[in-house]
A and B are shown apart, each in its own frame.
Chain A
Amino acid sequence: MQYDSKVPIYLQVINMIKTDIINGRITCGQKLPSSRDLAVEYTINPNTAARVYQELEREGVCYTKRGMGTFVTEDEQIITGLKKEMAEEAIDIFVKSIGELGISIDEAIELLKQKEE
Chain B
Amino acid sequence: MGKLIKYEFRKSWMVKAIILAITAIFEVMFLVGAISGNDDVALSSAVFLTFITICSIFIIGVLSIFILHKDLNTKQSYMLFMTPNSTFKILGAKIIENFGSILLFSAMFLLIGIGDITLWVAKSKGVKDMFNIINAILGEFGEDYQLDFFNVAISSAEQIVSWVFTIMVGFFAVVLSASFLNGRKFNGFISFIVFLVVTYIIEKIFYCSTNMIFGTATGYSLEKTICSIVYYIVLTVVLYIVTASIMDRKLSV
Is chain B in direct contact with chain A in the complex (CB below 8 A)? no
Chain A contact residues, CB within 8 Å of chain B: none
